[in-house]
Amino acid sequence: MTSRFLLSPFLFLVLLLAQVQADEFDSQAFMGMNSGNSVGAAIKRGEKDNKRVLVFAYDEKKNGQAFHIKGMLELEETKKLVREHFILVITDFKDRNIRDVIGSEGMDRPVYFLFNTDGSLVQKGTAAMGAGAGAKLVKEWTSK
What's the pLDDT tens digit per position in 79-135? 999 999 999 999 988 888 888 788 777 778 899 999 999 999 999 999 999 999 999
Considering only residues 33 and 89, tell me which one the structure prediction assigns the higher pLDDT. 89
Tell me if 11 is assigned to some domain.
no
Residue 82's CATH number = 3.40.30.10
In a domain, 17, yes or no: no
The larger pLDDT score, comparing residue 6 to residue 91, is at 91
The one-letter amino acid at 75: L
- The answer to whether position 63 is within a domain reads yes
- pLDDT attached to residue 80: 95
Q: In this model, does residue 6 exceed pLDDT 80?
A: no
Range of the domain at 39: 30-143
Residue 22 lies in a domain: no
Q: How big is the CA angle at 129 (ends 127 and 135), to the nearest 5 degrees?
A: 95
In a domain, 97, yes or no: yes
Domain membership flag for residue 3: no
Q: Which pLDDT value is given to residue 9?
A: 56
- 2 burial via Cβ count (<10 Å: 0-12, 13-18, 19+): exposed
Kindly state whether residue 101 falls inside one of the protein's structural domains: yes
- The answer to whether residue 126 is domain-embedded is yes
What does the pLDDT read at residue 19? 46
Total of domains in the chain: 1
